[in-house]
Amino acid sequence: MSSPPRRNDVDTLRALVVLLLVPFHTARLFDAEVWHMKDLEAPYWAADFLIRSLNIAQMSLLFLLAGMSAAWALERRSGTAFIRERFARLIIPLLIGIFVLVAPQVLLERITPEAPLRMSPIDHEGGLSTFVVSYFRCCYPEANFSWHHLWFLPYLFAYCLPLALLAKAAPARPLANWMVEDPRRLFLPGLALIGLEAVLRPSFPSTHNLVWDWANHAHYGFLVLFGFWLGRNPELEAAIGSIRRTALILATSLVAIWFVALPVEVGGFGMIALPHSIRHVIRFAAEWCLLLSLLAYGRSVLGRSVPVLRAFVPIALPFYLFHQTIIVLLGWLWLDWSGAPLMKATTIASLATVLSILLAWAAAQFSVTRVATGLPFRDRQRRDARTTDAICRRWLARW
């Protein structure tokens, strides 16, 4: 069946989130939390602040948009075809990426004992062949085998399975109509998100191991289902626009309060003392309001195609696959670069962006690498290539 029509606002929002993963993961070289590679003089407060800012809604928006896209995809294909397509786009790149893109990150971490705050401070003193054999020992951080930043792929695939079963279910229009009557009621699902976090997060801190990560499953699974519901009730999605200013004001205010109360050592200002439970409620209330405002303003502002981002959309997935491996490699190559953290971070982020785009574009040119990086092929391949090449030629001609 033919593909569902493209939504420029959804594509653009998704592209921006993926591009912002580069400054996010570059900042992980400099923040106070453990990670796969670190600057020798880490941590820096600015890195923690940047990570906290981006992390409020970054991955949550990706899951929400994925739910909306799934609803539109299931309008034109069967549940079986949908799962088959999602398997090709998510699981095949995951299986290949674990060995091609994640294994080098683990190796670099193992041979860099001088890096502070390593997530898995286990040294490797043998050769490459020895590491290849030991890489199959599960699981990181106690051993080597891991999927690192590719965790998003199996999580999203797991959430797509019930969506295929829900494709024939009623779209809960009475509830949607009730919210359309007074769009301020769209703030109510945020209470469910806050409740899920309050109940589950204390017992299930984020692990990204899929099996024992129930707070994340509840959080992201809820957002995928809500996005799926929005996608099946377009009048409800359109109604978000009428509360966009309220949502933005609330989001801005709550984010400001959260940062004022957040301790300095984790990227906040520490100006007022609030219990952790209260800060928790404020943070996830801010997330919900921010998600609503991003959807609403994205629909009104990003409805028209942005040429540069339109050219990026077809290669967003391989860009996501490549970017963290490049950042970890650059952090390792420039481990001794000290004394200029802002210049170092800017250089790594800029170079990682360029290299990731080049590798993603190169992967899009051949059927084998397209399959390996989750891209469609045949007619879709030629159409994407024509679109990207034409936009790039027009953009370069202007310069």
The pLDDT tens digits of the residues spanning 57-92 come to 999 999 999 999 999 999 988 999 999 999 999 999
- Statement: residue 1 has pLDDT above 80: no
Q: What is the mean pLDDT of residues 180-204?
A: 96
| Confidence at residue 302, expressed as pLDDT on a 0 to 100 scale | 87
**% helix, strand, coil for the chain, step of 5:** 70, 0, 30
- Give me the helices (H) in 135-172, please: 152-166
pLDDT digits (tens, 9 = 90+) for 26-54: 999 999 999 999 999 999 999 999 999 99
Q: Rounded to an integer, what distance in angstroms lies between the CA atom of residue 249 and that of residue 183?
A: 16
- Sorted by where each begins, the domain ranges of the chain are 21-55+82-150+321-399, 58-78+167-305
Return the closest-CA partner of residue 268 out of 280, 281, 256, 276.
256
Name, of 4-18, 250-264, 301-315, the range with top average pLDDT.
Answer: 250-264
User: What is the average pLDDT across 267-285?
Assistant: 95
Q: For the ranges 92-101, 152-161, 300-309, 340-349, which has the lowest average pLDDT?
A: 300-309
CA-to-CA distance for 286 and 281, rounded, in angstroms? 8
Distance CA 88, CA 74 (A): 16
In the predicted model, is pLDDT for residue 339 greater than 50?
A: yes
Q: What pLDDT shows up at residue 65?
A: 97
In sequence order, what are the residues at sequence separation of 6 or more whose Cβ sits closer than 8 angstroms to the Cβ of residue 368? none
Q: What is the dihedral of CA 124, 129, 130, 132, to 10 degrees?
A: 80
Kindly report the number of other CB atoms within 10 A of residue 79's CB atom: 16
Residue range 336-351: average pLDDT?
A: 96
User: What CA–CA distance (Å, rounded) separates 399 from 397?
Assistant: 5
Residue 3: its pLDDT value, please? Answer: 46
Query: Mean of the per-residue pLDDT values for the chain?
Result: 92
Q: What pLDDT does residue 169 have?
A: 82
- Residue 254 CB neighbours (<10 A): 21
Band the pLDDT of 370: cuts 50, 70, 90.
Answer: very high
Q: Determine the Cα–Cα distance for residues 139 and 93; give it in Å rounded to an integer.
A: 20
For residue 35, the SS3 value is strand
Over residues 190-209, mean pLDDT: 95
The per-residue pLDDT for 47 is: 97
Distance between the two ends of the chain, CA-based, in angstroms? 40
Which residue has 């809604």 as its token pair?
57
What integer pLDDT is reported at residue 129 of this predicted model?
87
Interatomic CA distance for residues 351 and 320, integer angstroms: 15
Q: Give the confidence band of 172 by pLDDT, cuts at 50, 70, 90.
A: confident
% the chain with pLDDT above 70: 93
Q: How far is CA 361 from CA 87, 98, 99, 138, 367, in A?
A: 22, 20, 21, 33, 12
Quick one: tokens of 215? 């707070």
Residue 390 has pLDDT above 80, yes or no: no
Nearest Cα to Cα of residue 153 among 264, 33, 27, 318: 318
Nearest to 119 by CA among 132, 106, 129: 106
SS3 355: helix
Mean pLDDT for 147-153 is: 97
Peptide bond into 174 cis (omega under 30): no
At CA 74, angle to CA 71 and CA 78, rounded to 5?
A: 160
Which is more confident, 93 or 168?
93
Beta strands in 157-203 (DSSP E): none
pLDDT-derived band at 2 (thresholds 50, 70, 90) equals very low
Q: What is the mean pLDDT of residues 367-394?
A: 70
* Selected residue with higher pLDDT from 285 and 381: 285
Decide: residue 269, CB within 10 A, 0-12 exposed, 13-18 middle, 19+ buried.
Answer: middle
Does residue 381 carry a pLDDT above 80?
A: no
Query: Which pLDDT band holds residue 398 (cuts at 50, 70, 90)?
Result: low
Contact (CB, 8 A) for 70 and 228: yes
